[in-house]
Structure 1
Amino acid sequence: MKVIVAGAGRLGTQVAHVLSAARNQVTLIDQDDSRIDALHGRVPADLRIGDACEPGVLEDAGAHTADLVVATTGEDEDNLVISLLAKRQFKVARVIARVNDDENTWLFTSHWGVDTAVPAAAPLVSLIEEATSATDTVALLRLSKAGVNVIETTITPQSRAAGRTLTELAVPAGIVVTTVVRDGDPVAPAPDLRLREGDELLVVSHTATESEVHAVFQ
């Protein structure tokens, strides 16, 4: 599946990580060049600098052949414009948009090109499920066609992983930590990264179950 994610904030970055891990072709766009520069080498996606509200930016990102556009910017006005362009100008089959302000929910309809609106209060799993149309989720996400499990786990004060590095945890083969979200920002999961309370981990595996992943980190 070819996916364009507009908005490289915390949510957009997590969505790009998950969908890329599930072997989709993902392009991540943000108009903040410093934000995009910081993600090079950390997000397995095609990173583009530009305003996704501009038709030319979406076109250059491959909107004409995209299967899905996910608008995750922090501005509802931008998400609506992106959705409308994706649906009306580029005929994208599926458009998902995040609603930042609940009072604007009534606007996020097919009239603005939105197939599915996801409220700000909804967890990441809801957005990913909508984006992939997956119905057989296990933990965060299971894409049966790709055979990939993506599991989200949070480090608590009681977690055995708190204060330890990934090397010290001896993460079993077949379990890959794709990103660590710390204080709202994605951090590259280097072997010497010391995990701490509040860290959110996105873990990818073809074989491990949710309980097996939790046994490693919790």
Structure 2
Amino acid sequence: MKRHILLIGGRGKAKALAQSLLRRGCRVTVINESVDDCHMLAQVERLNVIHGDGTKPHVLEDAGAAQADLAVALTSQDEANLLICELCKRLFGVSKTISLLCDPKKTDFFYQMGVDHVVCAVSAVTAIMEQQAFVGKIANTLPIGAEQIQIAEVPISGGAPAVGKKLWEINLPRDVVIGCILRGDRAMIPRGDTVVLSGDMLVLISSNGQELAAIRELTGR
């Protein structure tokens, strides 16, 4: 059975997300209170579009919220997004909810109120900027639960403290592993006795916000 995903608000964000989910074989319904936005969204093949206010229970009911596996609140108003998630979870029994958030100060409160995943653009951009101060390229960021798995590519220059050391000799944080080393044209899965060389690109996999401490340990910056 196809997963039923409910998207509320968001216009362009909803369209892009809906197209991605549809390609993955999901059944997607979008709720939007703008007639113009609904006309735009209706051009997406196989996308169900409902015109209405997603904070109203009868609109959520018409959109099939009771059968939804996941609800994603994408409006520009934090309060509306929280209400949507609350209604979907408590009134219609949606098992997972995701909320877009504008004010990062409200993140903990949203989790306390039962929202399963909170996506804050400000926090995401800030984290990327902090990482880019230490690494040349961020490979990817994958949100999982209330935490994040970070995958980062870390270039090792000649003066880095990690150069010449075996991996087991490097004091990495507990929640960080070096999953791969890119060396010239080769990609290698390292072992504990693998020696880090100048020019290596280390692919870090980390959680619990430990990537910056690991990067400092490896690069000295």
Which TM-score applies when normalising by structure 2?
A: 0.53
Q: 2:17 aligns with which of 1, 15, 22?
A: 15
Report 1 or 2 for greater relative contact order, CA contacts < 8 Å, sequence distance ≥ 6.
Answer: 1
Q: 2:106 aligns with which of 81, 104, 107?
A: 104
Contact 2:19 2:44 (8 Å CA) reproduced: no
Contact 1:96 1:130 (8 Å CA) reproduced: no
Q: How many Å separate the matches in 2 of 1:6 and 1:49?
A: 10
Contact 1:17 1:44 (8 Å CA) reproduced: no
1:110 Cα shift?
Answer: 4.3
What amino acid is the match of 1:30? Answer: N
Q: 1:59 aligns with which of 61, 86, 111?
A: 61
The 3-state SS of whatever aligns with 1:16 is helix
1:85 Cα shift?
Answer: 0.2
Equivalent residue number for residue 131 of structure 2: none
What amino acid is the match of 1:118? Answer: V
2:94 counterpart of 1:92: yes
Q: How many Å separate the matches in 1 of 2:93 and 2:99?
A: 16
Contact 1:97 1:118 (8 Å CA) reproduced: yes
Q: How many Å separate the matches in 2 of 1:130 and 1:48?
A: 29
1:126 Cα shift?
Answer: 6.1
1:54 Cα shift?
Answer: 0.3
Equivalent residue number for residue 27 of structure 2: 25
Which TM-score applies when normalising by structure 1?
A: 0.54
Q: How many Å separate the matches in 2 of 1:76 and 1:88?
A: 18
Unaligned runs of 5+ in 1: 138-218
Equivalent residue number for residue 120 of structure 1: 121
Unaligned runs of 5+ in 2: 126-139, 152-221
Contact 2:73 2:98 (8 Å CA) reproduced: yes
The 3-state SS of whatever aligns with 1:109 is helix
1:43 Cα shift?
Answer: 5.4
Runs of 4+ off more than 6 Å: none
Contact 2:69 2:94 (8 Å CA) reproduced: yes
Contact 2:73 2:99 (8 Å CA) reproduced: yes
Q: How many Å separate the matches in 1 of 2:75 and 2:144?
A: 17
What amino acid is the match of 1:115? Answer: D
Contact 1:8 1:28 (8 Å CA) reproduced: no
The one-character-per-residue Cα deviations of 1:133-168 (angstroms, maximum 9, x if unpaired) are xx9x9xxxxxxxxxxxxxxxxxxxxxxxxxxxxxxx
The one-character-per-residue Cα deviations of 1:116-145 (angstroms, maximum 9, x if unpaired) are 11112438x868x659xxx9x9xxxxxxxx
Query: Cα RMSD (Å) of the superposition?
Result: 2.4
Q: Once structures 1 and 2 are overlaid, which stretch shifts more, 2-11 or 100-109? A: 100-109
Q: How many Å separate the matches in 1 of 2:110 and 2:32?
A: 21
Percent of matched pairs sharing the same residue: 34
